[in-house]
Structure 1
Amino acid sequence: MQPTKELKIEHEAVIKVLQILDTISQRITEGKDISINDLETLLEVMKVFVDRCHHGKEEKILFEAMESVGIPKEGGPVGVMLYEHDNGRRYIGGMREAFEKFKYGDKEALNEFAANASGYTTLMYAHIDKENNILYPMAETYLSETAKIKLVQDFSMIQAQETGDGMYEKYFNLVEQLKANYL
């Protein structure tokens, strides 16, 4: 059983989100119109699906399990991932703040949105690469089969808790809709 397989599938959706953000940032730079509804949807996907659900699974379940088998939280790969999650939250907060300004008429705020989006995508592309190629293989190596089974069960609990009943699939569908509009 590979619990990190589920996280990698989520990473594929996150990469689509990053590609959409890159396209939106480019459109902003070119002075093209941006759908306020699409920005709001994208912010919801990043806040709920990416941060609370995906990062929640990592922070509350995976990283704790890794620490329990001797992989240190501080000064190691888990610490780096936590630091990057926090940086990602700052970028999302910056995008949210810029979006609110834009929503209330400040057209210049879109440039702030684009700057935060660019920082976020740069961070997250590298972050996903480190998780997929360093952290997750470590987890698969060091965690017992029993621990891996528990991870999968606990992932389902976090998923239901953070996205709501039946909403997990909704976020994948929202990403696909945005992809159809922008990629």
Structure 2
Amino acid sequence: MSKLKSTQDLKHDHITIRRIKDVALTCSKKLYEAKYVPIEDIEIISVVIEEFVDHFHHGKEETAYFPETKVNSEFSEEIRKFLIEHEFGRRIAIMLRRAVNEWKSKIKEVDNNEEQRILLVEPIARFLKAYAIFIDDHTGKEDNFFDSVEEGKIISESEDEWLLKHYESCMNQVGGKIRIEQMIKLINYLETREWMKD
């Protein structure tokens, strides 16, 4: 089976996205256990989800890869489901951001009130867990889809090159290579935080 650079690029993104999933799941678990996680770290998770997963990675899939594979194959129903799942992930990310903002706006008020703090933190833990479950399921299905595209030789070499050029455009729309590198550094930072250790 010949490997398409455009497909492998998306699969490589999935490796990074699964790292985000692991961070989100650990953060959720710690919050449910009433362990301390700095709100700034949760904000970073939210930013990485929105910028790296949704705008950058899903942007590449939605504006280039899926339209290209849909035109050349019988995958339209599978692609439709992926797009619905992307929207589902976006909604979780929006609810997470709202819950974080709510907690942040009331953090001083609830500092000494454990019951109030739990009420503000629980939605964040729930949305982080939901997002982690979504990522685990979604990336697995997409990886299988990518394998099918490669096996069926749905994308030609010239189309593969065009997709890679389009991915560069997607990267520029989210701040360019430097911003993507910053996102990776933020993931590295989160993975080394004290609360990430068992």
Greater than 4 Å deviation, 4+ residue runs: none
- Distance in 1 separating the partners of 2:135 and 2:125: 15
SS at structure 2 position matched to 1:6: helix
Match of 1:168 among 176, 180, 187: 180
Partner residue of 1:146?
Answer: 158
Partner residue of 1:61?
Answer: 64
Would the aligned equivalents of 1:48 and 1:163 in 2 still touch at CA under 8 Å?
no
Mind listing any 5+ residue stretches in structure 1 that lack a counterpart? none
Q: How many residues align?
A: 180
Which TM-score applies when normalising by structure 2?
A: 0.86
How far has the Cα of 1:139 moved from its partner?
Answer: 2.8
The change in CA–CA distance for 1:160 and 1:5 in structure 2 (over 3 A counts) is same
How far has the Cα of 1:72 moved from its partner?
Answer: 4.6
Is 1:96 the counterpart of 2:97 in the alignment?
A: yes
Q: How does 1:53-132 map to 2 (within 5 A)?
A: 53-73=56-76, 76-105=77-106, 107=117, 108-132=119-143
Q: Percent identity?
A: 26
Is 1:137 the counterpart of 2:144 in the alignment?
A: no
Which TM-score applies when normalising by structure 1?
A: 0.93
Partner residue of 1:44?
Answer: 47
Mind listing any 5+ residue stretches in structure 2 that lack a counterpart? 108-116
How far has the Cα of 1:2 moved from its partner?
Answer: 2.1
SS at structure 2 position matched to 1:166: helix
How far has the Cα of 1:70 moved from its partner?
Answer: 3.2
- Distance in 1 separating the partners of 2:156 and 2:177: 30
RMSD: 1.4
| Matching residue's letter, 1:99 | V
| Matching residue's letter, 2:55 | R
